[in-house]
Amino acid sequence: MGTSDGKVKGSTKIVDAGPNTQRWNVAIVSEGYRESEMGQFAADAQQFANTLLAAAPFDRLRAAINIHRVDVTSTDSGAKDPKCGTSGGTGAKPKTYFDASFCTQGIRRLLVGNSGRVMNVVKKLVPQVHIALLEVNSPIHGGSGGSVATFSKAPGAVEIALHELGHTAFSLADEYEYSRDCRQGGHEKHSQSEPSQPNITTNKNRATTKWARLIKATTAVPTTVNANCKVCDPQPTPVPAGTVGLFEGADYFHCRVYRPEFDCRMRNIGMPFCAVCQQAIVKKLTPFLPT
């Protein structure tokens, strides 16, 4: 188990925008790659870097971002995949350096490694690191936010990585309105208290809501209302894509909590970040731009 199941090989700066002391430093770490698979990890890390830097608003913040590849080998490929209720699980138990596993908290897609161990390795090699991602060499769909954003190699996994990075690096909330599925009980109405995350709100007052400045006077507020709080709102968007307003349903609840746009990367994988999420990212990374 753990660090006896592999080796820390070193780090390589694969995107260099300037001195580590002045830039925002991202580290991408390998998990479940055998020695013979490290060439594949180099290609996977480069693909992640390219996708990140092409996605808005990172495309206009390139001058602020360094990306470091951290090579760690494992004895075996993949991640633990325990039997997971009714949603499967192969029972595989590969020996890997960070002990990543699917089926965390009984949810198969929730893929988590030993975050403390990841940060220990990264801080030794890249002391100025701001955020670490763990890339898990498994074709099974999964990922997680938390202190280390984690993703696998399922189709579209780099898109999952950008969503998880939204949680880990920018404190963005999930903008989808369900946990297990759209009919699950206990997810009808959000508490009335205002969430801390920048991209969800319970305040439907046009003048005082969190992203009031981005809502046009001609946009209805709230912009959508869920007619049946027992389920997710099935209605299509009543406004053009990219319209900022108050759309009911977010943060795992069907009602009484609002998201800024009809869709966003924090709601659906593969969508761009909405204007409010982009604004939060820009605000955080602007201090790292060259003067």
Q: Which residues bind Zn ion (CB under 5 A)?
A: 199, 264, 266, 274, 277
Q: How far is the CB of 269 from Zn ion (least distance, A)?
A: 13
**270 three-class SS:** coil
Residues 168 and 150: beta-carbon distance below 8 Å: no
Q: How far is the CB of 36 from Zn ion (least distance, A)?
A: 40
Nearer to Zn ion, 45 or 277 (CB): 277
Q: How far is the CB of 185 from Zn ion (least distance, A)?
A: 26
Please report, for the chain, how many H helices and E strands are present, in that order: 4, 8
CA distances (Å), origin 180, targets 16, 22, 109, 117, 177:
40, 42, 11, 29, 10
Nearest to 173 by CA among 245, 56, 272, 280: 280
Question: Angle formed by the axes of helices 157-170 and 275-285, to 10°?
Answer: 60
Q: How far is the CB of 60 from Zn ion (least distance, A)?
A: 17
Nearer to Zn ion, 27 or 250 (CB): 250
Nearer to Zn ion, 122 or 200 (CB): 200
Nearer to Zn ion, 148 or 264 (CB): 264
Residue number, nearest CB to Zn ion: 264
